[in-house]
Structure 1
Amino acid sequence: MYIAVKGGEPAIKASRDLLAAARRGDLNLPAIGVAQVREQMALLVGRVMAEASLYDPDLAALALVQAQGDAIEAAFLLRAYRSTLPRLAFSAPLNCDAMRPERRISAIFKDLPGGQVLGPTYDYTQRLLDFGLLRGDAPASAPPCDALAEAPSLIVNALDELSAQGLIEPALPPDGDPEPLDITRDPPRYPLPRCGRLQMLARADEGWVLGLAYSTQRGYAFTHPFAGDIRFGAVAVSLQPDELDFEIEVGEIELTECQMLNQFVGNDGAPPQFTRGYGLVFGHGERKAMAMSLLDRALRADEFGEQISSPAQQQEFALPQGDSVEASGFVQHLKLPHYVTFESELQLIRQLRQERSDRLKTEQP
């Protein structure tokens, strides 16, 4: 993001004071605490962590409080902090099939191993304002007993059986299993391999990814998606220190994973089968994970010899514009002084107007 030029220091200080007052709001009301935001605005916290590419619920909640709830500003704050952190180690690949799930659904099977685990979701609620919250009505001290039933500790992936039958493409690493790119260290060079695309989508602005994913459903790509396996829960993070010959678990993080299926009629190199789109985001973010998986599949058009005719299928359109921090900075820098540039443009317009006026005068009979 662009940084304002120096000058007008008293005015800038006054602006910061006004910002602090606006952030605090009515002094007769209790201040919002970081812990409250972390616990009661968890979906927003997850979005900020995803777009900042840093998993830390406490700092994401702090950024939201500091930014007055502006998710893009909060992601910028958190990403700026992330850039100051040393990289101590590399974690082992996460095993999302070993997720400790709070929620898991599949839209393509009525009965499946482990069953449908509805978990916490707005999918089955009425979109009506709850005026009890406005009145400050206290929630029940505990949910009904049947709501406390625990999900199975391990749920088989819903797509494993289809994969075993050869009806869906296998989920395998690329040939040679090369080390994946790191878009935070190396600038993207197009065309990007799938690992780089997924990284950019994982931290892209949710609204942008959602809009492009929606475009694929409206006919701007050759897709007919099915939600194969959507799950949210805790996944263990492990790493292997250089001095050890085994991995050690260092903690766990909450993730949302989505695998979408798309029909594929086959080609000379592959039989008819279902293909996959993949989405993975920090926190509980089903909408983002689903949209990411739709867009991931659209961006794989060249792999399957499909015609590339839509924005969602074009890497250099779909990926760079999704960076909310970069996009916000480039748009908002227009608020900074542009006196010299505008003066030159103004002089050019005056000159063109004068030339046009002179030309019209000479053309008159």
Structure 2
Amino acid sequence: MSARILTRRAVGAAAAAALALVALVACSVSVSFGDEAAAVSTDVNDFVFESMAADYTLGRADDGTSTMTVVETFVAVFPEYDQNRGMRRILPDSYLGAPLHPQLVSITDAEGAPRPAEVESEDGVYVMTSRADDYVHGAQTYVFTYTLENVARFFDDTGVDELYWNVNGVDWAQPFGSVSATLHVPAELASALTGAESCYVGAAGATDQCPIASTTDVDGGVTVTASAADVLAYETVTIAVAFDADTFASFDSSYVASPFGWLQALAFLGVIGSFVWAIVFRTRMLRDEPGRPTIIAEFNPPPRIDALESAVLLGKTTKAIPAEVLEQAVVGSIRIEEAGRKLFGGLKLKAVLVDPARADG
């Protein structure tokens, strides 16, 4: 099939969909020199990769978005002294705004025997770690198998859908003897291939090309292979394979596309509805009856106990006389009147006997 060179894009944080990091599990070790022992803090990054081979199987989900099963085989060559206990593979959890939803399937050795595996997701990355109980030495093979979503998308600069993928990534502090990638395109997607495919190698933004070729399988699928040798530290191999536009559905990042968006919208409507209901309930159910006067709460003392006695019982003797006077004025036995001004301001008050029959004992 005919081929053209796809645009080489910068390999930055947003475009590095296959961002690859390695963090070796290590600690300080004691190395014996004759009768003396010296504490040596080793650099866990002091090793090399003999090779890294990535095997990709592209697919299309029921909703039309792209999926990919990834099998990566790393051959790391560790020093013979105690330095490393394993390796860690770190992936971004999104690619150009679309979630990748990485899910680890397994971590094994070259023969398929399981290696220790643990995963964690934090700060926008997905971490897969194989940590041995003891130190590992020499050539060690780690096979990471995991799945991804939303790996292909439409690019305006080429006008086609592309799988634009960094095979190893630019964040490795170690060189690779070789980096290779094999992409399996099933028959149902092979007819959408445009024939445009490219391979690049180098640091971020490099345009040096590497060999890439495609063959047709007996089942109608297509296999694309690319490789590069002597990949230096902080360099990556990148492949770009083009498909007809609309081969894959784009990830819908709109607010209502997510079930959480709908839940938030429903919760917001619930809050608004509760607020409106509270207003209606207050204005209709809790409103005053038409023509009903204002109700003033009144409190009466117990029968046959006047304010004077109550003040004594409550220990408020300083308020006993004023309370008793006010109580007698309320029942109508006396009337409180103004009696002129005080010498230094204020009003004088006097109690005038009105009806002795209304007074208490």
Under TM normalisation by the shorter chain, which class is it? under 0.3
Higher strand share: 2
Higher helix share: 1
TM-score where L is the length of structure 1: 0.19
User: Which entry has the higher C-alpha Rg, 1 or 2?
Assistant: 2
